[in-house]
Amino acid sequence: MNDVDRSSQQRENLEVVTIRFAGDSGDGMQLTGTQFSDNTAIVGNDLSTFPDYPSEIRAPLGTLAGVSSFQIQFSSLDIHTPGDKLDVLVAMNPAAMKVHLKDLKDHGILLINTAGFSKKNLKLAGWKENPLEDKSLNNYRLIKVDMAQLVTDATGNLGLSPKIIKRSINMFALGFLYWLYDRNIDSTIKFLKSKFAKKLDVIESNTRALKAGYNYGETLEIIKTSYRIPKAKFKKGTYRNIMGNQAITFGLLAASEKAGLELFYGGYPITPASDILHYLASYKNFGVKTFQAEDEIAGVVSSIGAAYAGSFAVTATSGPGMALKTEALTLAVSAEIPMVIVNVQRGGPSTGLPTKTEQSDLYQAMFGRNGETPIAVVSASTPTHCFEAAYEASRIALEHMIPVILLTDGFLGNGSEPWLIPKYDELPAINHHQTTDAENFLPLSHDEKTLARPWGIPGTPGMEHRIGGLEKTEGSGNVNYEAENHQYMTELRQKKVDIIADNIPNAVPLGEESGDLLVLGWGSTYGAIRTAVKKCISNGQKVSHVHLMHLNPFPKNLKTLLKGFKNILIPEVNSGQLNTIIRAKFLVNSEGFNIIQGRPLTVHEIFDKIQEVVKG
């Protein structure tokens, strides 16, 4: 393809488009969205995605709770978020329409699979009358298609089972969107062939559905124009599309290779962090050792054991799992074990919102342990930044001989965007403290510059030593219960974290270093804040943006930056955790902006809030 004559077709160029596929969790919306994203990458647009799905694998059919969606913003410009308002909403059933219609722009395209609009499904979604049949949708460009029938017609002569046909319907929607945005469908056909390999009937059914959807666009009266989004202007280099969780594994693996250490991963499956385990388990030819432990505790403790024995050790989890790892983390601090703990945050408390995003584990990362147990904290701000953040967390852990918590979240972990692939040789060096110098070995002595202890690993002659969770004597590491020693060691553990500040870059603001308002953020709010602040700056407002990667310790210039602004606004997907810490530490009158709905903040929300603050 494309074997359709498009000469009669009008084409219009657009800068930026946001679309969302929504349906039952069994409708294949995630796969449809992923295919569209990959295709978008091939076209050369900048893109940002937001998969959003229920925690049940097959939630009850047709219900509001069972709706799964995939949003993508793509553009010829540099974009940072999956978009706020939708240009196109694809709704496979009434529930999907009900949940998502509020996000569709006026005159936006609403593509409906009428086959999903049975009386039963309408009732499940809480619609007494069929909204497709009254005038309530007049504000949108409504396209009603019986996708099930058209796919059945397209595959009619193949004698396929209704089940196979039904499962191909999502490809119809995808095909239509490919037509609408002037795409080539080959990438998906190639994907289908490789995914279903020998299941020829499945490949054929899906391919025909895809083409049927594409061809359907031609016949439409309501939309005579298809759209083209010119290539985005990227920096020079080679790109690929990447999800945050995969970027984490690349960062960890790159750090282990750079440090010349084997990567060990001990962990327990948990949404939304499991993909980190899946990816690492596939890197066996790099010598990566993955250990699926019996629980979260064994995941982190096995990593401590591996780190003690000389591996670069990592564990990953999400909030509830992090809670279980707490005691072991205090051991890692006490025994000065170099390791990285990734927390892909999700909505809490307890099981909370397993598949939804939230930034509510910052207090936990900073303070959530018994005893005085400071831990370094690094955070990632975009899916691609997950690579850099993982590399940085690894560097700090290995160079300072301490555990480092890396915070990401469900939005970052599952979201994707184009990644400028770095060259391995150009990544900064990572040093570590393994030694074979038995003569000068003191297990708990500390390097002046980094306060790292020497990493004497089992198997090295002459350095036999004991370590553990009891209070220790600096130098020998021997158990020590003396009063003054405990104060000394407590302060030393704090200094080990504080000294990292000498070894990290200053925060760089977008905009001026002083002005009316500083918007301070961390984590996945980056894209929304950046886009909103850019808009303010181009409107001539004295607004700046600082986004923190290092949360413990903070960059050294943060205090000066904070003091340079009349107002400070801290948007977070929690009830003000960074805000509390900033106020406590710097005695500034910062203000929080807090939306805690299991979803990312939008550009609009932040922009409007900025206006409110600036206008006082």
Residues that bind another protein (CB under 8 A): 38, 41-42, 44, 187, 234-241, 250, 253-254, 257, 262, 264, 266, 283-287, 289, 291, 293-295, 297-299, 301-311, 313, 327-328, 331, 335, 421-424, 457-470, 478-479
Shortest Å distance, C-beta 270 to another protein: 16
Shortest Å distance, C-beta 488 to another protein: 21
d(CA 258, CA 9): 53
**Among residues 8 and 238, whose Cβ is nearest to another protein?**
238
**Among residues 19 and 301, whose Cβ is nearest to another protein?**
301
The backbone torsions φ and ψ at residue 21, rounded to the nearest 5 degrees and listed phi first, read -95, 130
Q: Position 507: which residue type?
A: A
Residue ranges of alpha helices (H) inside 482-525 are 483-498
Give 609's contacts (C-beta < 8 A, 6+ positions apart).
Answer: 569, 571, 593
d(CA 515, CA 561): 10
**Among residues 232 and 519, whose Cβ is nearest to another protein?**
232
The backbone torsions φ and ψ at residue 23, rounded to the nearest 5 degrees and listed phi first, read -170, -165
Shortest Å distance, C-beta 417 to another protein: 14
d(CA 295, CA 324): 9
CA triplet 478, 484, 488: central angle to 5 degrees? Answer: 75
**Among residues 97 and 463, whose Cβ is nearest to another protein?**
463
**Among residues 253 and 407, whose Cβ is nearest to another protein?**
253
d(CA 315, CA 305): 12
**Rg (alpha carbons) of the chain, rounded to whole number:** 26
Helix axes 244-259, 274-281, angle to 10 degrees: 50
**Among residues 165 and 313, whose Cβ is nearest to another protein?**
313
Edge to edge, the sheet with strand 104-113 lists 46-52, 67-75, 16-24, 86-91, 104-113, 141-145
Shortest Å distance, C-beta 299 to another protein: 8
Residue 461 DSSP code: T
**Among residues 234 and 367, whose Cβ is nearest to another protein?**
234
**Among residues 306 and 573, whose Cβ is nearest to another protein?**
306
**Among residues 479 and 508, whose Cβ is nearest to another protein?**
479
Shortest Å distance, C-beta 549 to another protein: 21
Convert 424-451 to b/e letters by CB count within 10 Å (16 or more is b): eeebeebebbbeeeeeebebbebeeebb
Shortest Å distance, C-beta 367 to another protein: 20
Shortest Å distance, C-beta 458 to another protein: 4
Q: Which of 616, 557, 546, 614 is nearest to 586 (CA)?
A: 557
Residues in the chain: 616
Shortest Å distance, C-beta 293 to another protein: 6
**Among residues 187 and 579, whose Cβ is nearest to another protein?**
187
**Among residues 238 and 589, whose Cβ is nearest to another protein?**
238
Contact 359, 522 (CB under 8 A): yes
Q: Three-class SS string for 111-125?
A: EEEHHHCCHHHHHHC
Shortest Å distance, C-beta 228 to another protein: 17
Shortest Å distance, C-beta 432 to another protein: 14
d(CA 318, CA 306): 21
Shortest Å distance, C-beta 114 to another protein: 34
The backbone torsions φ and ψ at residue 437, rounded to the nearest 5 degrees and listed phi first, read -80, 80
